């Protein structure tokens, strides 16, 4: 296959269909209904913002969509594939190849350089070293960090760290990007920059983006906003 640069050869974005999704956590005598009957369809290439107060179930929902957690009831169908029906190995493959996940607190390995952090998921996916290196460099340049390849996380600002995390999430050319309060640890200027970058990179590639945020201005930039309350969607689907 011809090696690519840029968006032209990217897959189209994932289509995500959630049906009556439930995730419950036993807490002592009680059961926390973190996700309580969510149904939602996200189109290929769509950009959806999840809003709602702390504890409303945003992270739990994103973890389920990203294959980091397993639902108790209902279904999550991504590109026609029901995640709950996948073996552990297939789910790991889904996490490695289909989804990119971006966390509020970056989750970078502290003793690795920016480039090594970006290469890591590509190593897991079995890419040859030369291609990993080239791809990591290319994406880090794309996120504006061409001069930070050898920096470690502690030597970078919060905004730069999150841009490394974005580059890492895109390394395996996912068709779905899931971001859990990606600007939560950033000041508003850097937060805006990071979101603009995320919007730009996902739109260019046709990648589906689902992100949680507390910031209504950032949420308003999505194609659609979904509000969560007590584990359920309160606004329903708008288009
Ligand atoms: P948000 O991201 O909107 O703040 P979360 O999805 O983190 O909400 O949490 C939803 C609810 O589920 C909260 O009441 C939280 O305390 C609870 N919860 C989340 N994860 C767990 C867990 N692993 N064990 C027990 N309760 C949890
Ligand atoms: Mg959360």
Establish whether residue 55 lines the binding site of ligand 1, counting it when its CB lies within 6 angstroms of any ligand atom: yes
Give residue-wise pLDDT tens across range 73-102: 999 999 999 999 999 999 999 999 999 999
Q: Hey, where are the domains in the chain?
A: 45-54+85-227
Report pLDDT digits (tens) over 178-217: 999 999 999 999 999 999 999 999 999 999 999 999 999 9
pTM: predicted TM-score of the whole model, two decimal places = 0.93
Domain 45-54+85-227 in CATH 3.40.50.300? The answer is yes
Residue 208 to residue 43: CA distance in whole angstroms: 7
Ligand 1 proximity of 147 Cβ (cutoff 6 Å): no
**Does residue 63's CB lie within 6 angstroms of at least one atom of ligand 1?**
no
Is residue 225 within 8 Å of residue 51, measured between CB atoms?
A: yes
The Å distance, Cα 168 to ligand 2 centre, comes to 21
pLDDT score recorded for residue 235:
67
Q: Does ligand 1 come within 6 angstroms of the Cβ of 84?
A: no
């Amino acid at each position: 296959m011809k090696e690519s640069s840029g968006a032209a050869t990217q897959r189209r974005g994932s289509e995500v269909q959630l049906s009556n999704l439930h995730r419950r956590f036993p807490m002592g005598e009680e059961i926390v209904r973190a996700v309580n009957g969510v149904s939602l369809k996200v189109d290929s290439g769509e950009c959806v913002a999840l809003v709602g107060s702390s504890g409303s179930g945003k992270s739990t929902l994103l973890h389920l969509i990203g294959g980091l957690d397993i639902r108790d009831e209902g279904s999550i169908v991504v590109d026609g594939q029901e995640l709950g029906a996948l073996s552990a190995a297939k789910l790991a493959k889904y996490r490695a190849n289909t989804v990119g996940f971006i966390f509020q607190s970056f989750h970078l390995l502290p003793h690795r350089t920016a480039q090594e952090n970006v290469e890591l998921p590509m190593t897991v996916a079995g890419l040859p070293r030369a291609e990993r290196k080239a791809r990591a460099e290319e994406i880090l340049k794309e996120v504006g960090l061409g001069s930070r390849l050898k920096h470690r996380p502690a030597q970078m600002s919060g905004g730069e760290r999150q841009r490394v995390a974005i580059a890492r999430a895109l390394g395996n050319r996912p068709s779905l990007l899931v971001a859990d309060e990606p600007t939560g640890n950033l000041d508003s200027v850097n937060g805006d920059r990071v979101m603009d970058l995320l919007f730009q990179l996902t739109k260019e590639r046709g990648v589906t983006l689902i992100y949680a945020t507390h910031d209504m201005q950032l949420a308003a930039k999505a194609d659609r906003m979904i509000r969560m309350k007590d584990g359920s969607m309160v606004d329903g689907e708008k288009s």
